[in-house]
Each structure stands twice: as structure tokens, then as C-alpha cells.
Amino acid sequence: MSTGLAAPRTTTGTSRTAAGTGTLPGTGPAVRLEAVSKAYGPAGARNLVLDEISLDVAPGEFVCLLGASGCGKSTLLNLVAGLDRPSAGQVRVAAGRPALMFQDHALFPWLSAGRNIELALRLAGVPRSGRRERAEELLELVHLPGAYGKRVHQLSGGMRQRVALARSLAQGSDVLLMDEPFAALDAITRDLLHEELTRLWQERQFTVLFVTHNVREAVRLGQRVVLLSSRPGRIAREWRVELPCPRRIEDGGVASLATEITGHLHQEIVRHART
């Protein structure tokens, strides 16, 4: 069993292009980042968060972004989602706006589970006459049949995240961005949602860019794990995960690769502390 380690990706060029976002043609990567940098603050006191990130994500690929807290993972996801613009470089997505799922479920508490999903369907242009049926189909897809009329306070944490996942799928995007969506859940619930996400990804073949600080979660879910350095965030290393899918968090191969990646993560944290 191989878990080949890709060579570290670095950028040596000094030229910078005008920052922006765009749409890729129908063939090629689902997401492309070209020398993307992001800085905050006034001129002369700029805080560089991301530094020349270049990354391609293939259609149907599951890529996990991993790194220490504050390394710019969520910032990178916001750039891909179109919620912010890069300071330099280009962010391109194959088709339309990606769907985004946050760590917090972000459901509207005054709406039922089904109505939360219908809101996304409405924004996606689904006719009113077909929204309820489609919302119920999506709830069944995430194993929540009969939950259409339940309010948010009637749902457990895991159920809320399932509804949030169904709402993300309702947007009809081929690209799903996930920002630590299971971090606040207990271990058993998180394990169940790992299974659900893997099943849906295999069935629907959408592209996933998944942010996490949990190394085992990254190895369990991803086809590729990308490690970001501490600020400024740069791609430090990549791993291609060549383990059969679906995987279990306790699998020997998952544990072995997670141990290797954790060692490199610790090196990045120590390096950052010394600079």
C-alpha cells in the first residue's frame, strides 16, 4: 500500500498579476488558484496572510486543506467562494458560484429544516411548485426523512449539520467548499457524518475543498491532503492518499499517514515560532 509523498510545491517567480476571480472553461480543473496572495491592512503595515498559492483541484476530487490555526485556510476558502478578492493572483472556478458549508450550521432558526433548504432552492432558481418535493428529496439524501417541518431547536447538532449539507447541495453547484463543518461535533456524530459525506461524494461526484485542522479527518476523507505553512500561508507539502475508500478513522493506513503528516505539521509550527 502506497501513500506517495508529493514534492513540496514552491513558487519562485517574482512577477504578480492583477488580482481577480473568473470562470474556467468546461474542461480542466474545477478550481484553479494561480499565485494567489492575500494581505490586510493599510499600505506600509500590510499583514500578509496568503503568499502565492497555486493549486489545481480536478473535477470530482476531494482535497483537504490542513494547517495550524491562523495559517489562512478559511481565508483561502473565502477567496474561492467569492466572498473576498485576492490581493494578487487569480482564483477561477469551473462553473458558477461554489456552495459553501460553514463550521456553524448557519440555519435560520425561525424556518423549518425544509424551509431552510427551500430558500437555497429559491436562490438557485428552482420554481416554487417544485421546491418542497426537492427539499424532501434532499433531506432523504442526508438520511433525514420526515424532518421537513422540524425547527432548528428540535434538531441535534448532527442533524443540523445534515440539514446544512442538504442546503449546500440544494445550490446545485458542482463544487462544495467546507470550512471545518464537523469540528464542533462529538466524535461519534462526526464519524457518522464522515460516512455520509463520503457516500454522497461517491454518489454525486462533486468536487470538495475541505478545510480542517484535524489530521486524521483529512486523511480519512481526502484524496489529497495539502499542508499550508503558518503565516504567511504557503503550500508546504502535498500527499496523495492512496487508501481504499470508504475509510475508517481507526484504520492502520489512516493512522500511519496521519502520523507522518502530523510530524510535518509540527515542524511548520516550530518553524513559525522561531521566526
- Indicate whether 16 pLDDT > 50: no
The mean per-residue pLDDT over the stretch 252-271 comes to 90
CA distance 116 to 220: 29
Q: Tell me the chain's radius of gyration from C-alpha atoms.
A: 19
CATH of 28-98+174-275, one of 3.10.129.10, 3.40.50.300, 3.40.50.970, 3.30.930.10: 3.40.50.300
CA distance 225 to 61: 11
pLDDT tens digits, 52-102 = 999 999 999 999 999 888 889 999 999 999 999 999 999 999 877 899 998
Q: Which of 28, 146, 33 is nearest to 80 (CA)?
A: 33
CATH 3.40.50.300 occupies which residues in the chain?
28-98+174-275
pLDDT tens digits, 113-156 = 999 999 999 988 999 999 999 999 999 999 999 999 999 999 99
CA distance 254 to 249: 7
Please give the model's pTM, rounded to 2 decimal places. 0.87
Q: With residue 147 as reference, give the H or E element that holds it.
A: none
Grid cell 483561502 is found at 76
Phi, psi of 137 (to 5 degrees): -65, -40
Least confident of 97-101, 241-245, 270-274: 270-274
Sheet strands side by side (includes 207-212): 5-6, 235-240, 224-228, 62-66, 207-212, 175-179, 99-101
pLDDT category of residue 13 using cuts at 50, 70 and 90: very low
The mean per-residue pLDDT over the stretch 145-173 comes to 93
Mean pLDDT score of the chain: 87
